Each structure stands twice: as C-alpha cells, then as structure tokens.
Amino acid sequence: MLNIPRIFPITPDALLTKRLYISLIIFTRCLSGNDVFAQSSKGQPVPLFASDKPIRLVINGNITAIRNDRDKQSTYHPVQLEIENNEGALIKMPAKVKTRGHYRKISKFCENPPLLINLSKDASLKGTVMEGQNKLKLVVPCTTNELVIREYLLYKVYNLFTTNSLNVRLTRVILVDSLNRTPVDSITGFLLEPITQAATRNQMVPVDKNGLKPQYLPPSDFHLMAVFQYFAGNTDWSIQYRQNIELASHSVNTPPVPIPYDFDMSGLVGASYARPPEELNLSSVLQRRYRGYCLPSMDALEPVFKLFNEKRAEIEKIYRETTGLSDNYRKRALEYIEDFYRVINNPRKAEKEFTYPCLPEGTGNIVIKGLKED
C-alpha cells in the first residue's frame, strides 16, 4: 500500500491532489523499475555548470531561417556547434536548434527568440564541457545584452539561498551564417541547467504533474521561493499550472519542492516589454505583489526574512560588481533591493504586504495559468 503523506487534509481538493500524487508515483516507478529515487546521486554540477567562467559558443547554421521560425510549433534546424571547454579548448559537434517560448518568440517584442539546443547522440561528448548534456535551453537577448545579464543575476541570487535552484552558465554566442560562413551577430546569452540535472544533484526526480496546491509543498521551500519572487518583483508564476516553476521530489513519500525559472517579466529585470498578468490588476512589474498563500501569522516567514538579511551583502555585491550593467540600472536595482529590505524589516509594512493573500477583495487567490511551452 502506498504511503501518502499526512500533509494532505481530507478535502475535495486534497483528494484530487492525492490522486495526482499517486499517479506520479506509479508513473515514476514504471519508468525506473521502482528504483528511480535510489538512482539519484548527490554531487556537484556536471562540467558545463561547474564553473562561472563565461564561455564562447558558436552556432553555425541558417541563422535567418532559425530566427524567422516563430510558429507555435517551431521545427529543428541543423547546425554545427563550437564551444569552449573549461580549459579553453574548442570542441565541434553536430546539433539542431529550434526557437522556443511564447512571449519572447513574438518578433515585435524580441529580435532573438530563445533557443532549444538538441545535441546529436552521435557527438563525442565524453571528457568535454558538454558531457552529460542532451537538450539545453539557451537564453539570448530579446532586445539588449544587458537584459540577459539582469535575468542571469536573478538565478545567481537564488543560488545563494538554496541548491534547489537552476544553475546557469554565461556565454558569448557567435551566430554564423552557414551559407557564406560569416558571423551574423555576437550576443550575450546563458545556458540553463535542465531540471533533471538539478534534481539529480539534490537526490530528487522531477515531478511532471499539474494540480498540486502551494499548501501541499514543504512550507520552508515554498515560502523561500515565494518571498524570492516578491524580492524580484515577479508575479508571473504558479504552482498549480507549473507556470515558470519546476517541481522535484526527494521520495515517493515527500511533497515536491518548487524550483523557479524565467524571470524576464520581473521588476528587477525591468524589460521594456514586461507586463504583469492582467488578472492581478497591477500597474507595472515594478509594483511588488506577494503571491504566496494566506498565513495565520507572520511567524512562518520570519526565518525567510532572517535568511534574506544574512544574504544581503552578497546580493548587493552581485549587483555592484557584475560587469555589463549600466550605471543607471545598477543604481535603480540597488534602490529596488533597498525597498524590499525596508519592507521585510518593518513589521507593519511586512504584515501589510505579506498578508495580502488573506484579503477577500484582493487578487491573492488568482492562479496564473500561463502558456507553458518547451
């Protein structure tokens, strides 16, 4: 008999969640002969994400065709990749790429849509920086290189708080037209750690299920993630639909933890095209809105506030010392961060902001469905 955690209260919603969780357990056991969790071994990131040193990535292919493939169901295009190893040696390998995403795939908003790189199974990757890789998300400038760096920094900030986060690797992306063999563009990007790898190094497996409510996740993990989203000024996420959230679980008997991604709609990134979800009735992404669930008291958030205060110097150092940021943005970002700390360190302000989900007339219970796409 399956042992479902007692964390699920016996309500109609809980029964639905319980059924979803049972389906997850059956699914993962069928995939792995009942040993899926035992096969995960905790360790360091794979070679690609074991260093913060920016690397050079050349994509040689029909760049015009790739950039113009903005259909909802985009297709793969063959390319030749050239990437630096951690030691600086260049490695060439066949691959294919396609555009991905939804909002950033729209040409009037973004010159360069984000890409999904699919490495050839025939490529010799052993002993290279790409060892262990198959499919990789590449984030490239929607409008400017600085926007990529701003979003990259939010991943690095969340890495400060928990290993239940996605690693990133900054890249200098050279786009080469295969027809005339000349560089078309040189842009800044970053590669995003796949959820399977993030789960494995934390002795977990991904949870591929919608319908779980935030209250069923481990409170400490959920509150940390939700306060971080408030810190970033990001409201474009939900647990129920896994909108810009991955889930991973330690075992069949434990609820999954949330792992956030995609921060380009946040106030701290400040993209010109960014808009908050209409349902939230916010005037700008710069307007913060806490989107956790209603809590009977602020006690549950105090450890998170304490942790943010402990990490403050490291966070501000990231924004002070990272190159590639304009002086104007650096100043605005530090002021935006300062405003966050003024809230969490003022009990009256904190209670007003973080009990918002309890207001019956507010938008705290709205679930963002989004348009999830690989």
For the stretch 289-332, pLDDT in tens is 999 999 999 999 999 999 999 999 999 999 999 999 999 999 99
Which residues have C-beta within 8 Å of that of residue 320, sequence separation ≥ 6? 330, 334
Q: What is the pLDDT of residue 115?
A: 94
Nearest CA to 259 out of 339, 194, 164, 324 is that of 164
In terms of average pLDDT, the best of 44-48, 84-88, 99-103 is 44-48
Q: How far is CA 355 from CA 225, 340, 352, 358, in A?
A: 16, 15, 6, 6
What per-residue confidence (pLDDT) applies to 103? 64
Q: Is 196 exposed, middle or buried (0-12, 13-18, 19+ CB in 10 A)?
A: middle
pTM for the full predicted model = 0.87
Angle, to 10 degrees, between the axis of helix 347-354 and the axis of helix 219-232? 100
Q: How far apart are alpha carbons 363 and 166 in whole angstroms?
A: 29
Band of pLDDT at residue 21, cut at 50, 70 and 90: very low
- Is the pLDDT score of 18 beyond 70? no
* pLDDT band at residue 86 under the 50/70/90 scheme: confident
Q: What pLDDT score does 107 carry? A: 64
